Chains A and B, each alone.
Chain A
Amino acid sequence: AQTVTQSQPEMSVQEAETVTLSCTYDTSESDYYLFWYKQPPSRQMILVIRQEAYKQQNATENRFSVNFQKAAKSFSLKISDSQLGDAAMYFCAYRTGMNAGGTSYGKLTFGQGTILTVHP
């Protein structure tokens, strides 16, 4: 079974600064996806960024980027130019790739979450 670990229960950053959230995972599969989700106080789950394991290039979405180290099974999220609206719980998640077949491709395994505080 896959496991996802977020070792930072809480992080804080000053507005306009950069912060990196850590995530490690354990799997024996070669085909998978990795995700970062943001959960603000509204409880809504918002997809921030995703990475396909077969792609070597790190995914980027505006101020959000990842550092994907496949051999090390590490998937960190970097938030640049932090804004007050970035304050939320962030979850790292793993999903088996569709090429693996079967029904497992729809299941997400989540990390414990990291609460990010942004100071003005």
Chain B
Amino acid sequence: NAGVTQTPKFQVLKTGQSMTLQCAQDMNHEYMSWYRQDPGMGLRLIHYSVGAGITDQGEVPNGYNVSRSTTEDFPLRLLSAAPSQTSVYFCASSYREKLFFGSGTQLSVL
């Protein structure tokens, strides 16, 4: 039972590079979300989706894009990475009040 799968687990980028963090879930959950975790700030919501074709911004959306073409996948795109985007990123899917988290991606932007 895979649950929520995030790739890659670690990534180093140079300022200005682009990349996509992948997130897939096999539980047929409608709701998916992306969070970033920074020291002293907990986890903050970047973007979320309530179903295929529907996305919306969270608390810290600037510099990130998302799309939801299928129920299973919810990729997070960094179009032009900045050092301020160095963080740990978590994808989550949810059913009713329960959230299921991926194992996280540690991203460093130099």
Q: Which residues of A contact B (CB under 8 A)?
A: 4, 6, 9, 33, 42-45, 47, 50, 52, 91, 93, 95, 97-98, 103, 105-113
Residue pairs across A and B with Cβ atoms less than 8 A apart, 28 shown, are A4-B42, A6-B42, A9-B40, A42-B103, A43-B103, A43-B104, A44-B101, A45-B90, A45-B101, A47-B99, A91-B42, A91-B43, A98-B97, A103-B48, A103-B56, A105-B97, A106-B94, A107-B45, A107-B48, A107-B58, A108-B43, A108-B45, A110-B35, A110-B44, A111-B42, A112-B40, A112-B42, A113-B42
Residues of B within 8 A of A93 (CB): 43
Q: How many residues of B contact A (CB 8 A)?
A: 25
Number of A-B pairs, beta carbon distance below 8 Å: 58
Q: How far is the CA of A112 from the CA of B90 in the complex (A)?
A: 16
Interface string of B35-73 (1 = CB under 8 A from A): 100001111110010100000101000000000000000
Q: Which residues of B contact A (CB under 8 A)?
A: 31, 33, 35, 40-45, 48, 50, 56, 58, 88, 90, 92, 94, 96-99, 101, 103-104, 106
